[in-house]
Amino acid sequence: DAGITQSPRHKVTETGTPVTLRCHQTENHRYMYWYRQDPGHGLRLIHYSYGVKDTDKGEVSDGYSVSRSKTEDFLLTLESATSSQTSVYFCAISGSSGANVLTFGAGSRLTVL
Amino acid sequence: TQLLEQSPQFLSIQEGENLTVYCNSSSVFSSLQWYRQEPGEGPVLLVTVVTGGEVKKLKRLTFQFGDARKDSSLHITAAQTGDTGLYLCAGTNSGGYQKVTFGTGTKLQVIP
């Protein structure tokens, strides 16, 4: 969607290799999120950020780390990818307080062999 | 962990039929959103409800937030093939950072 881009869109990697997914926004929104989507589980929050250098864990954070050095960029890193991390990863942004509305990127499909 | 259970998980109906999707939780939410997701894309917001008992209409779609702000429903009247997709409810709890919890999703297929 306009204002939020994810890269890469598709990646195939091998078990044990590091992987970094990038989320870039041009909306100057404060909040950024990484979700993973798997059949039968819906969208599950991995990590989120509430400002530059301010991040916190979500419900499925094991095996993942994040960094946010600039407002516009939120990186998700798999230090040593495992097959259980094969998934579609979505980045989302939110700028308002109160009723929370998320704008999602188009997703990054990761396959770990 | 707050859970949002959606039912049914799958729904296949004929064009022109009506349907209702439910989103239930034991937790109270300050707001609840409904999203629709099409294959290969991210979810897109349909509506936000904030007040207990609130009803919002978006053309043929009617959204209701439960009085206790623990549940919600989405009713589609005279479904069209363009309504096909994955419907997700999502709740936000107040009091802290904006962590959004998503429901398990309802996959709707409308057959012409």
How does pLDDT run across A64-90, given as a tens digit for each residue? 999 999 999 999 999 999 999 999 999
- Pairing relation of β-strands A54-57 and A42-51? antiparallel
Q: What pLDDT does residue B96 have?
A: 56
CB B4 within 8 A of CB B90: yes
Q: Dmax of chain B from CA atoms?
A: 46
Q: What is residue A42's predicted lDDT score, i.e. its pLDDT?
A: 84
pLDDT digits (tens, 9 = 90+) for B77-87: 999 999 999 99
Q: What is the Cα–Cα distance from A26 to B68, expressed in whole angstroms? A: 37
CA A17 to chain centre: 18
Chain B residues contacting A, CB < 8 Å?
Answer: 1, 30-31, 33, 35, 40-45, 48, 50, 88, 90, 92, 97-105
**Range with lowest mean pLDDT among A42-46, B9-13, B83-87:** A42-46
| Residue A97: pLDDT over 70 | no
Tokens 């929050």 sit at which residue? A45
Backbone angles phi, psi at B36, to 5 degrees: -120, 140
| Mean of the per-residue pLDDT values of chain B | 92
Q: Which two tokens stand for residue A60?
A: 């499925």
Q: Do B40 and A107 touch (CB under 8 A)?
A: yes
What pLDDT shows up at residue A39? Answer: 84
Q: Which residues of B83-95 are buried (b: 16+ CB within 10 A; e: fewer)?
A: bbbbbbbbbbbee
Q: What's residue A61's pLDDT?
A: 96
Rounded alpha-carbon distances, angstroms, from residue A33 to A46, A55, A70, B52: 8, 9, 14, 27
Contact: B102, A43; criterion CB under 8 Å: yes
- Would the pLDDT of A111 be above 80? yes
| High-pLDDT (> 90) share of chain B, % | 78
Amino acid at site B55: V
Q: How confident is the model at residue B59 (pLDDT cuts 50, 70, 90)?
A: very high
Q: Where does the pLDDT of residue B101 fall: very low under 50, low under 70, confident under 90, or very high at 90 and above?
A: confident
> CA-nearest residue of chain A to B48?
A99
B6: left (phi over 0), alpha (psi -120 to 50) or beta: beta
Q: Tell me the percentage of chain B whose pLDDT exceeds 70.
A: 94
Q: What is the pLDDT of residue B98?
A: 64
